[in-house]
Structure 1
Amino acid sequence: MSLSDLSEAKLIIEDNNMFPSELLNEMSTPFFSHTSEEKWFVVESSDKQVIAIAYCSPERMTEGTWNLLLIAVLPSHQGHGVGRLLIEHVESALVQKQARIMLVETSGLPEYERTRKFYPQCGYTPVAVIPEYYGQEDDKIVFWKSLM
């Protein structure tokens, strides 16, 4: 990912109603320092439009545990396997870095039901629910997958 991709990444986040896209500036700052282990992945269409993004980070104080903090596909490109291919690519890249485990979290709100169904289809197991983590009546759902 490059700085020029940020504006398109923000559009993907906004189109998916994930979180305020201005938070992406703060998320990406360590990545662009070139000293971070964090990883950004971008999928471009044949016309060079950014259609999907993913962001992951190693979990501090662990051996080989990574967090997939963001994965999103433009709504116009959803349902065609782009997200599944992207997550497989992320996992493959992390295995090369001796990653053992990938964690991913999402909201328990009804509008995230499709997201919660996506992760098990990619081999992730729901392992935790933290009640009211994001807000009142908005639970955090954590998924786990072994990369070994």
Structure 2
Amino acid sequence: MIRPTKPEDAVALIDVANTIGFQPHEIEALGKMLADYFGGNTDSDPFWITDFDDKDGPVGVAYCEPERMTEQTWNLQLIAIRPDHQGQGRGGKLLHYVEETLKARGGRMLLVETLASFERTRKFYAKCGYEEEARIRDFYTAGADKIVFRKVLNAA
């Protein structure tokens, strides 16, 4: 079941991030983002979505926020499925839910960023209808390029 994230999901969602390899400083930032979101301490209109399994609780998460100074362009900052629940189509369903949520809000375009070295991730976005829009060389560190994917949601 995919649904809006609830405050009681936070610990499990941080665990999801931990199981997919988030670094300690990234886990700390994620915890702060969730706390700010549920505390109403954000200056934008982000949203969190949880993939909830009846047996295992929260097993996936997506976080999306609007791009400042744009007309309904959004950025998918995080999408993750716990490794023991991957390969079941959950990521595609979660991404589709995000897209439908954005369309209902009038969202025009969704951007997604990933590392060039994440071939599986890049294939996932291509399979979901995203096109590679940009590459920023050496963005994360020397030799670690950032790839930006784009999908038009509501062509106006």
After TM superposition, the score normalised by the length of structure 1 is 0.92
Q: Tell me which residue corresponds to 1:121.
A: 127
Q: Percent identity?
A: 40
| Superposed displacement of residue 48, structure 1 | 5.3
- 1:45 maps to 2:53: yes
User: CA offsets, 1:23-59, max 9 Å, x none?
Assistant: 2023224422436410000011122511110000000
Cα distance in 1, alignment partners of residues 151 and 36 from structure 2: 25
RMSD over aligned CA atoms reads 1.4
Are positions 1:108 and 2:116 aligned together? yes
2:17 matched to 1:9? Answer: no
List alignment gaps of at least 5 residues for structure 2: none
- Segment of structure 1 superposing worse, 68-77 or 31-40: 31-40
Kept in 2, the 8 Å contact 1:65–1:102? The answer is yes
Looking at structure 2, the residues matched to 139 and 88 of structure 1 have their Cα atoms a distance apart, in angstroms, of 26
Q: Which residue of 1 aligns with 2:76?
A: 68
Could you give the per-residue CA deviations for residues 85-133 of structure 1, whole angstroms, max 9, x where no partner exists?
0000010011111000000000122xx2111111011110001000111
Structure 1 stretch 15-24 or stretch 67-76: which is displaced more? 15-24
Q: Distance in 2 between matches of 1:58 and 1:28?
A: 16
User: Which of 133, 139, 143 is the matching residue for 1:137?
Assistant: 143
Q: CA deviation at 1:21?
A: 1.4
Alignment gaps of 5+ in structure 1:
none
Distance 1:129 1:47 in 2: 40
Q: Name the SS for the 2:94 alignment partner.
A: helix
Q: Within the alignment, does 1:55 sit opposite 2:59 as a pair? A: no
| Length-normalised TM-score, structure 2 | 0.88
